[in-house]
Amino acid sequence: MATAEVENREWYVASYAPTGVPNSDHLKLRTVTLSLRAECIPDHHVAFQILYVSIDPYMRTQLSGLDDGLSLPQIPLGQVIRALGIGKVVRSKDAKFSEGEILMSRFCPVSEFGVLPSNLLQKINPDDEVALPDYLSSLGMPGITAWVGIEKIGNAKEGSNVYISAAAGGVGIIAGQLAKVKGCRVVGSVGSDHKVKLLKEEYGYDEAFNYRIETDYDAALAKYFPNGIDVYFDNVGGKMLEAVLNHVNHGARIALCGMISEYNKVWTEREGVRNLLNIVGKEVVMKGFMVGSYYNHFEEFIKEMEVHLKEGKIKSKYKIYNGIESFLESLTSLFTSSNVGKVILQVTP
Amino acid sequence: MATAEVENREWYVASYAPTGVPNSDHLKLRTVTLSLRAECIPDHHVAFQILYVSIDPYMRTQLSGLDDGLSLPQIPLGQVIRALGIGKVVRSKDAKFSEGEILMSRFCPVSEFGVLPSNLLQKINPDDEVALPDYLSSLGMPGITAWVGIEKIGNAKEGSNVYISAAAGGVGIIAGQLAKVKGCRVVGSVGSDHKVKLLKEEYGYDEAFNYRIETDYDAALAKYFPNGIDVYFDNVGGKMLEAVLNHVNHGARIALCGMISEYNKVWTEREGVRNLLNIVGKEVVMKGFMVGSYYNHFEEFIKEMEVHLKEGKIKSKYKIYNGIESFLESLTSLFTSSNVGKVILQVTP
């Protein structure tokens, strides 16, 4: 393992992208020299080599340079991008961490190496039954996000009619499986026929449709939800949310998890939802959530999710991009319907 | 009291008004002969003279001929309009009701006399401390509507920043006073300077503004809510709701009670709300409600409201229109900001 200086490649924000999909004008890779010598690591800090980084739609919202309605701060220009990541300790100045141990952090830089104070790190002890990327998917942030939306907010029950948009995404694919475990009827929308097939054949969805083909969302929902929608797990917002509000049942719950259809626009250009009056008449509850507010439920979640994983009732699915240089490609892939499951950047093989 | 036939004037739906404010092409008065002879009143039915009828914005939504997102049915063409009303028994074929007693019904026809099965009637026993119109305002539907929005959904607490739109309306004026009782800071928007003055001087609002003058709602809310909005009691929807979503605090509650700004439009013409992403980032709860679903809380509500009324902490306010012929005028007045407080039609002096 490197013990002296390393030439550390890292991604930083060169300029903001208020609209559109960020590109190589906005996000750039640079090489910085990082010392891993013991005397250069501050007390209670840990130096680590980065193994995996979680790539998620919310990251785009920190790159607009605008206050866009999510409470995540914009990343200052010139600064490295940070995300949920997994690393391996290479040098520790904290008694709780030893060389070679595996850790996870929500402040992991998108780079090859990182140095962080130990209170921002969490040790993980992977066993044979759980692959490392599972900590970034079914047992990680996407998993608890799916769980909060389906169980805590959606209150999905046996027989509930559950609709999930971006259903083959990192969160959606787990949300659908969780709803099936609860005995719900589950329908998902996705951006390719390949994903439609996969959701139905591999992930137990009762129905799925391609929103790029069935572009009349209202007609599609009428067809797939003859008995209306009881729970909507919304990952996309905009026109799809509007269509859903025409098909909700009385007392329906809508968990607003994210709005990927809207992230690449300034808010005044976003799709307006015109039929919120349905929320009154149908007494619908619409609740937005940021998963960070539910971390106090993490143990409860892990306990339940591990059982489902071990019983084979929930399967992880991820798309791995290889090498630090692939970060931009992995991020933009989120906006092109090209992936199935959780997108993960593997920095070090 | 009339004992034989009466020439009963009643309002019926002549044609639907999909958009705009209904007028005399849509709503017409006709005279029908109604027998009040005992042999003409069916068993378990009661004939009554109508004293007061409650005039409310929701009534407009039953006159469009369209499914407009509220669960109230359209009134069939040619049929009499029904609303919450108070009457006096003139002939009873039910042992529970006697001549001269006062009753209330949600199915009261907008007419001079009515005959209804006794199970649709509720006896009221007004005492000296409570005026009859109070049963249609602070102690009636507007009162419990305000109470549900402020307490059950809004969870307004000491120090909460509470915003109420259509604040001088039948519901708003009670909602604001209730929030003041709870120790909140309360701001209301209204459609005239006269109402601004009244809310601040008579009804204890901390601030109020005229949305027809301060037409940049975003700027107005920034000014009146330097510390953001914790509870929004929404009576109007549309552009105002959108502006509110730019000023909500984390965890804010939005009680969607009605959307008077949108009732006169078909849904595709309604104002789209473009910034629902704020609901995600701020973890806002938005809940629509129909007050009928909360009637099981009626006793709890009455108990609390009577205390406030007797202690003078909440004052009723109504605008009375006189005579059955004034119904159309009273209804259209709801859409012109011309009234303060609950609009009531006094059919019989």
> Each residue of A41-66: b (16+ CB within 10 Å) or e?
beeebbbbbbbbbbbbbbbbbbbbbe
CA atoms within 13 A on the CB side of B289: 26
Radius of gyration of chain B (CA): 21
Going residue by residue through chain A, which has 349 residues, state the pLDDT in tens, using 9 for 90 and above: 446 899 999 999 999 999 899 999 999 999 999 999 988 999 999 999 999 999 998 899 899 988 766 667 899 999 999 999 999 999 999 999 999 999 999 899 999 999 999 999 988 877 767 788 988 989 888 999 999 999 999 999 999 999 999 999 989 999 999 999 999 999 999 999 999 999 999 999 999 999 999 999 999 999 999 999 999 999 999 999 999 999 999 999 999 998 877 777 888 888 889 999 999 989 999 999 988 889 889 889 988 998 898 898 999 888 999 999 999 999 999 988 788 889 999 999 8
pLDDT of A2: 47
Q: State the smallest CA–CA distance between residue A283 and chain B in angstroms.
A: 4
Q: How far is CA B296 from the centre of its chain?
A: 19
- Same fold: B5-137+317-346 with B144-294+302-308: no
How many interface pairs between A and B have CB atoms less than 8 angstroms apart?
132
Which CATH number applies to A5-137+317-346: 3.30.710.10, 3.40.50.2000, 3.90.180.10, 1.10.10.10? 3.90.180.10
Chain A CB within 8 Å of residue B171 CB: no
Instruction: Please judge whether B283 and A276 are an interchain contact, meaning their C-beta atoms are less than 8 angstroms apart.
Output: no
Which of A69, A279, A293 is the closest to B277 by Cβ? A69
Cα gap A68→A254, rounded to integer Å = 21
Q: Does domain A141-294+302-308 have CATH number 3.40.50.720?
A: yes
Chain A CB within 8 Å of residue B155 CB: no
Which of A237, A242, A283 is the closest to B277 by Cβ? A237
CATH architecture of the domain B144-294+302-308 equals 3-Layer(aba) Sandwich (3.40)
Cα gap A246→A242, rounded to integer Å = 7
Q: Which residues contact B29 (CB under 8 A, 6 or more apart)?
A: B9, B10, B11, B324, B325, B327
Instruction: Please judge whether B250 and A276 are an interchain contact, meaning their C-beta atoms are less than 8 angstroms apart.
Output: no
Tell me the ipTM for this assembly.
Answer: 0.82
Reported as a single tens digit per residue, the pLDDT across B124-148 is 877 767 788 988 989 888 999 999 9
The helix/strand/coil state of B98 is coil
What number of other Cβ atoms are within 10 A of residue B8's Cβ?
A: 23
Residues A7 and A33 sit within 8 Å (Cβ to Cβ): yes
pLDDT of B271: 84
Chain B CB within 8 Å of residue A262 CB: yes
CA nearest to A255 within chain B: B280
Q: How far is CA B253 from the centre of its chain?
A: 21
Q: State the smallest CA–CA distance between residue B228 and chain A in angstroms.
A: 14
- How sure is the predictor about B2, in pLDDT bands with cuts at 50, 70 and 90? very low
Instruction: Please judge whether A277 and B237 are an interchain contact, meaning their C-beta atoms are less than 8 angstroms apart.
Output: yes
pLDDT of A70: 66
- Lowest average pLDDT, out of A84-93, A127-136, B166-175, B318-327, goes to A127-136
Nearest to B235 by CA among B292, B184, B188, B193: B188
* Chain B residues in contact with A68 (beta carbon < 8 A): 277, 281
To which residue do tokens 């489902």 refer?
A308
Instruction: Please judge whether A280 and B272 are an interchain contact, meaning their C-beta atoms are less than 8 angstroms apart.
Output: no
- How sure is the predictor about B53, in pLDDT bands with cuts at 50, 70 and 90? very high
Instruction: Please judge whether B270 and A274 are an interchain contact, meaning their C-beta atoms are less than 8 angstroms apart.
Output: yes
CA atoms within 13 A on the CB side of A26: 21
What is the rounded average pLDDT of the residues B324-342?
Answer: 91
Instruction: Please judge whether A288 and B281 are an interchain contact, meaning their C-beta atoms are less than 8 angstroms apart.
Output: yes
Q: Which amino acid is at B120?
A: L
Surface-to-core class of residue B174, CB atoms within 10 Å of its CB (0-12 exposed, 13-18 middle, 19+ buried) = buried
CA nearest to A277 within chain B: B69
Residue B1 has pLDDT above 60, yes or no: no
Q: For chain B, which residues make up each domain, given as ranges?
A: 5-137+317-346, 144-294+302-308
Reported as a single tens digit per residue, the pLDDT across B75-114 is 999 999 999 999 999 999 999 999 999 999 989 999 999 9
Q: State the smallest CA–CA distance between residue A193 and chain B in angstroms.
A: 28
